[in-house]
Amino acid sequence: MARPSILTVDDDPSVSRAIARDLRRKYGEQYRVVRAESGAQALEALREIKLRGEDVAALLADYRMPRMSGIEFLEQAMDLFPAARRVLLTAYADTDAAIQAINVVDLDHYLLKPWDPPEEKFYPVLDDLLTSWSAADRGPVRQIRVVGHRWSARSYAVRDFLARNSVPYRWHALGEDPEGDRLLTAAGEDGTRLPVVVTEEGDALVEPSDGELAARVGLSTTPSTDFYDLIVVGGGPAGLGAAVYGGSEGLRTVLVERMATGGQAGTSSRIENYLGFPDGVSGEQLTERARRQAAKFAVEMLTTRQVVGLEPRGSARVVRFADGTELAAHTVILATGVSYRLLDAPGLPDLTGRGVFYGAATTEGPSCVGQDVYIVGGANSAGQAAMYFARHARRVVMLVRGDSLDRSMSRYLIDQIEAVDAIEVRTCVEVTGGDGTDHLETITIRDNRTGASEVVPASWLFVFIGAAPRTDWLDGTLSRDGRGFVLAGPDLVIGGRRPAGYPDRDPYHLETSVPGVFVAGDVRAESVKRVASAVGEGAMAVSLVHRYLEKL
């Protein structure tokens, strides 16, 4: 089999030769090094490699090239070799432009020229990229197909489950796509039971549960052993942060998630205030990178496993799943996050998933083209959704209960919204009802200043009205505040009295009322509801886990 290629392109011949020389010195035995001096020449080389049926492991492109910049080259090169790792080579003055390009071409890395010595500043970066490329599955894209009704709540739930778990699929709307009818006929179905998921092997799954779906698309649902150093419950930013740091520090770590990693942040179309991403990063991108990091450190990740119980048994901490099985560890980190509150208005609960959605539901964006979209809420998540749907919809109307966005939304996001003509912000209003047959058709909006109500046609309503913790299953086990958020650390010491189980010390900062059980992220009482703080708490919790384990 032919060696995979590493292609480098730089319009300065001397620099191009130097880069190729460094590459051949380190990687010449395993990879074929291809050198080009223009974007057009490099693309021609890639086409020849493609026609020969060979592969490309990495693309290194100079940022400043005449006629075709490095970013423009990488955009076109992605069409030929989408799995190749992408590196932008920049001079010191180009650093800002390189960072901005991270999200344009999903850049894997950028390197400053010159690098000297390459053993310290060049080879370690490329080693990591080539290792991840070698470990990746570069087989044909999976052709999982989903046949369902456009306004079927379960059809939406299946698509959302696959999308949030980064499982590629093709959607066939019944009655709108003839291929969907053909697939149903082949599966022996008449359309009364939907959705039907056709696996890449050709098996038809009729109305599959999340667990059945997960098992058939390659997601892990069963732990490899029955005891770990650390169980992380919840796969949002806090849980992923804890899993990455736990695995990187040598703890046998398993992450348990009931639906998909990423949590609410994973559904965000654009997070723009996260450190290191000046042009923003989608929740999906951030989640996928965190998943890859966790896998790199041998963290097990289980999906579709709902934890319904927690109890201490001697030095072990045991979690119980909904199916009655159990898993034990020395320590547990709770990072279950929060869920959006339901909009309690007549007519809306029955239309959930059929025009009424909680969260961004970005899978629905293409279906909103040329239509009006209504968004309920005035915090950052609602603003990010408005910016996303404005790229598809004719008009986006934000319905805000408060008198302005300033009290609940970051200033940068308010400025962006004000600059988009397609977004209309209505304040001091709320949705008091909805109606429709098989899907949402109208909503009732009340002006809280005048008391007047109006009924407007609407097929799309996305709700972001605050969050509630998922902690009912902890009732009687851990101390929580009046709203259900988990108390930890100093909040547990009242009048100098420690909680039961702490005879010799106070609880550590993120430790709950049960020693060895920690909490991180939005589910913690008085936490800062931001992605960066959640990741930080996940990492901090692992350091406290180590302190706890040292005293066992």
Q: What is the mean pLDDT of residues 371-381?
A: 95
**Location of structure tokens 């898993």:** 327
Q: Is the dihedral of CA 391, 235, 161, 340 positive or negative?
A: negative
Q: What is the CA radius of gyration of the chain?
A: 26
Largest CA distance in the chain: 76
What 3-state DSSP class applies to 235? coil
Confidence (pLDDT) at 479: 96
Confidence (pLDDT) at 50: 87
Cα distance between residue 206 and residue 63, in whole Å? 50
- The end-to-end CA distance of the chain, in Å, is 53
Token pair of 7 as six digits: 């292609």
Cα distance between residue 188 and residue 252, in whole Å? 46
Task: State the DSSP code for 67.
Answer: S
Cα distance between residue 66 and residue 40, in whole Å? 11
Banded model confidence at residue 60, pLDDT cuts 50, 70, 90? very high
Q: Give the model confidence (pLDDT) of 181-234 as tens digits.
A: 888 988 889 989 999 999 988 889 999 999 999 999 889 999 999 999 999 999
Mean pLDDT of the chain: 90
Identify the H or E element spanning 33: strand 32-36
The DSSP bridge partners found for residue 543 are none
Query: Are the beta carbons of 310 and 320 closer than 8 angstroms?
Result: yes
Banded model confidence at residue 98, pLDDT cuts 50, 70, 90? low
Cα distance between residue 226 and residue 252, in whole Å? 11
Q: Calculate the CA dihedral of residues 310, 311, 317, 319 and round it to 10 degrees.
A: -30
Q: Give the model confidence (pLDDT) of 449-467 as tens digits.
A: 999 999 999 999 999 997 8
Q: Give burial (CB, 10 Å; 0-12/13-18/19+) of 296.
A: middle
What 3-state DSSP class applies to 470? coil
Banded model confidence at residue 494, pLDDT cuts 50, 70, 90? confident
Banded model confidence at residue 101, pLDDT cuts 50, 70, 90? low
pTM: 0.75
Confidence (pLDDT) at 366: 84
**Location of structure tokens 């901090």:** 540
Comparison of pLDDT for 53 and 444, the residue scoring more: 444
Q: Give the model confidence (pLDDT) of 396-419 as tens digits.
A: 999 999 999 998 899 999 999 999
* Structural domains of the chain in order of their starting residue, each with its CATH number: 5-135 (3.40.50.2300), 144-216 (3.40.30.10), 227-339+468-550 (3.50.50.60), 349-465 (3.50.50.60)
